[in-house]
Structure 1
């Protein structure tokens, strides 16, 4: 960042702080409490990735178990966001926030004391439910507290700064705690934080609710959750069962049927969770697609990068956390670049550019991944992080701009649900690519070993992918080298897929934006001709 841009950033931060300080003390307290609650969710979501190899080693867990540590949380989170928001509007946002903190705290305790990988994943799912309760209620509380234009905009800027800082420090915090205190303290540290936030919310927040809130769509929520869970289950277990196995095919078929039922139900509902009519607008579809591409191809790297740094380079948890900083810091710098570009280019062009940068960064990282040169990999990480930073706020703005003011709550729910659905889907898809390519690379290297079948079996592959080389049987230097090279090859393949997907989504967003512009021009032309006739 140049001296001029750094000074501009400092001036902007001081302006935000001045606005917040000019608000009443109670409003400041509400903003800081709600922002800290959301930052806790972001921190917890990203901090666990660095600990995955340590979790695998303690439980002797395979890759599927490690994927579920992330996916169980994300599936529950994504499935519960829309109903949690509706419930908060009905029973009260303050009550929902405190209940969410209680659920999040108890689930964190369950994670920290989990005796097995299965128990950990069940607790992680419960934690996802608590996180959905927290996020929706905290966002509603901020929106209800700050009504005026300037104060509202800057309050959201303070909230965004808290989220950015928590995202940046999460890998390092995760590495430090995992290496020096043990992975269980990643979850147990939430207990005093939740207690403090609950006390602050109880003493400092006013209750608010929406008196015109519609009925809860419990059936729609259940169908969406079941469809998403079955789809992710199929993607994760297909790595062991095989894509042609009847169990994989049955799960995918059930996922498709349940999702079709969900869409049919939403069409019939008077107050549906999702207004499907919005998806007839090319501009809205482009914005949602951009959010999906951003989350699936960039944000998901917070899960895979720590595994790569620890497996391919043999880094301890702390150094892996430090190694992720180029990506995290670039995500913080990216929004400043996006804000500058946003004054010169249309919103849809900015989304297309951001996705193209993510695609280029992923392909660059994939190209360097097998070279065992961290500096080159970091270059690709920075490019991807910059693209992600450009899109981080602009995807949300683009979605919100496509709906009338009275539907912004639902649009925000669609945006956040899309983000986390994309992450969990990408974990399953890219995890399958990672497993498949790593397996192929191991088979390729097997010819150099005296008895490859005794070492490079399915258990070895699963432990390698999970980051548990110690229990995988990689005792000799030759096997360790083969394992690391094979994982690097798998990681490169998964990033290449992510890069191609990002570029494909960028092209689709560009085409949809052109369709929207053409349609709007036709309407303007028809309106102009009608005006001439009237005159």
Structure 2
């Protein structure tokens, strides 16, 4: 776990809070900070590369989703789970994994995480079917959560001085940014030229090298005062989140009003209620629920949720859109994602300029969310034009807003808690991020599916086929294949007349569905921006009232 005052100011995950975290303590050795500068910076390179591997893996898979669908003839729900299984397990395990690292040693957990990540990658690369692939993706999420919490704690332990620490986090942040930027292009190149399985199999030699580097560079450290890990609360949260995502994704086939969907939502609500009840009773809860009584903290968490649900989720949907609507290859789609990725690099500099003229620490959040909303709505408005230049412009606006939010959401959450609680706050921040992405994949996927089917139904020409055949053209199986990117399989089982008609109608229908999903994301971003702005204003009123009373 991160030492509470040492939590990173940029993207990252914390673990359960420990007031007496002896970060520098090692098993029979002095602090790791006493190592030579050269070995410390080698350690930083190892830990940063480990975190970059997670970031790369999180964003690289989206470009390969249509290829995975074609390989297994998998439906849209299966493809959604390729992303969601990883996100759900990652978000569920972030809170307890830091406690494990504190209790049993950060080096041990870092090496264990690399081993789990490597074995899960092997399972993904050799998966015989999409069900096995999704189970392996869930296992990768567990390994990734252990890697991230342990790696961040190792960095905090190795650089105790303020100046060294600032430089270390700057290097770490730059590494993460580079990984996020190149992920779509790397994913497209590997998928098209080698095959999607190598996206996962290439993790094996990388993990092996990182294990060797970690073994030689990291000195083990642990917290001798670490309390028990909150497995019960974490299990309730993880299962509740999984049931909620299951309901959202499954509703596309089962129906929103079906008993199965209702049962899954009810299970989600009961499990999350159980999590809240457990956290209220625990002395060392992984989440201090009293923080949510502060308007400023709620505003910061809402900002993180809006950023992830409306901007980061585009890393999943944009590659699908570029390949389905424009009929691009994976490499072409990866290149087409660059306006979004590169503008995310520029965004933080814009955020700094905005911050210089702001009067409150949360004032940049509504502006960033408004940019994300405007970019999403612009892209939605031009998505059906088949004009990439306009789509790229929308990507740039969304990416600028995402870049503003990327660091400021984390800083806003950290600024709301005292120094001894920042580790827990970092855990809440990153858990919120991945929970929001997983939920948004389910919601926007449902909107995409519904609107695409409606658009295809409306566009079917009278002469293409009789009404019965026309109805069969857009059945659940056809739609599932189309949305997943397996257009060839979707069209192959149709009658010749319907096949010829839908060959041109289907991409346009997907673009219509994508526009509708982006419209929802844009409206949500503006709604969250308004809430954050109102909560920030309430906080300022409360502060002025407190000053007047004193």
TM over 0.5: yes
* Superposed CA offset, 1:372-417 (max 9, x none): 0000000000000000000100100010011111111100000000
Q: Could you tell me which residue of structure 1 aligns to residue 48 of structure 2?
A: 35
Q: How far apart are the structure 1 equivalents of 2:377 and 2:419?
A: 39
Question: Which position in structure 1 is the counterpart of 2:480?
Answer: 462
Secondary structure class of the residue paired with 2:363: helix
Structure 1 position 411 matched with structure 2 position 411: no
CA distance in 2, matches of 1:481, 1:214: 61
SS in 2 for 1:348: coil
Which deviates more, 336-345 or 433-442?
A: 336-345
Residues 307-343 of structure 1, C-alpha deviations (whole Å, 9 max, x = no match): 0000000000000000000000001111111122222
Q: Describe the SS at the equivalent of 1:213.
A: coil
Partner of 1:352: 366
Higher helix share: 1
CA distance in 1, matches of 2:222, 2:541: 41
Aligned to 2:258: 245
2:489 to 471, 478, 489: 471
The Cα shift of 1:264 comes to 1.0
How is 1:347-386 mapped onto 2 (pairs within 5 angstroms)? 347-386=361-400
Q: Which runs of 4+ in 1 moved over 4 A?
A: 474-477
CA drift of 1:478 comes to 2.9
Describe how 1:35-434 pairs up with structure 2 within 5 A. Answer: 35-345=48-358, 346-434=360-448
**TM-superposition CA deviations, 1:159-203 (whole Å, max 9, x none):** 110011000100000000000000000000000000000100000
In 2, the alpha carbon distance for the partners of 1:145 and 1:396 equals 22
Partner SS for 1:347: coil
Kindly indicate whether the alpha-carbon contact (under 8 Å) linking 1:434 and 1:491 is maintained by their aligned counterparts in 2.
yes
Aligned to 1:3: none
Secondary structure of 2:285's aligned partner: coil
Q: Which has the higher contact order (CA 8 A, sep 6+)?
A: 2
CA distance in 2, matches of 1:279, 1:110: 40
Q: Write out per-residue CA displacement over residues 240-261 of structure 1, whole angstroms, 9 at most, x where no aligned residue.
A: 1100100000000110011111
SS in 2 for 1:182: coil
Deviation digits for residues 490-528 of structure 1 (CA, Å, limit 9, x no counterpart): 10000000000000000000010011111111111111x
Deviations 1:275-301 (A, max 9, x none): 001111100110000000000000000
1:27 deviation in Å? 1.0
Partner of 1:521: 544
Q: How many angstroms apart in 2 are the aligned matches of 1:191 and 1:140?
A: 24
Structure 1 residues 180, 493: closer, same or farther in 2, change over 3 A? same
Match of 2:453 in 1: 439
Contact 1:400–1:412 (Cα < 8 Å) also in 2: yes
1:477, distance to aligned residue in structure 2 (A) = 4.5
Contact 2:460 2:501 in 1 (8 A): no
> Which residue number in structure 1 is paired with residue 523 of structure 2?
500
Quote how far apart the aligned CAs of 1:30 are.
1.1
Q: 2:460 & 2:236 partners in 1: Cα distance? A: 45
CA offsets 1:120-151 (integer angstroms, 9 cap, x no match): 00000000000000011111111111122222
- The CA distance in 1 between the partners of 2:340 and 2:538, in whole Å, is 34
Q: Unpaired segments of 5 or more residues in structure 1?
A: 1-21, 528-535
Residues 446, 456 of structure 1: 8 Å contact kept: no
Q: Distance in 2 between matches of 1:489 and 1:87?
A: 47
Offset at residue 211 of structure 1 (A): 2.2
> What TM-score do you get using the length of structure 2 for normalisation?
0.91
Contact 2:191 2:330 in 1 (8 A): yes
C-alpha deviation, 1:447, in angstroms: 4.0
Q: Distance in 1 between matches of 2:357 and 2:168?
A: 25
Say whether the 8 Å CA contact 1:239–1:432 is kept in structure 2.
Answer: yes
Give the CA deviation at 1:453: 2.6
Q: 2: CA distance between counterparts of 1:427 and 1:350? A: 26
1:486: how far off? 0.6
CA contact (8 A) 1:97 1:137 kept: yes
> Alpha-carbon deviation of 1:446?
2.4
Partners of 2:531 and 2:315 in 1: how far apart?
A: 25
Distance 2:189 2:36 in 1: 37
8 A Cα contact 2:453 2:474, kept in partner: no
Check conservation: 1:220, 1:262, Cα contact below 8 A: yes
Distance 1:324 1:405 in 2: 38
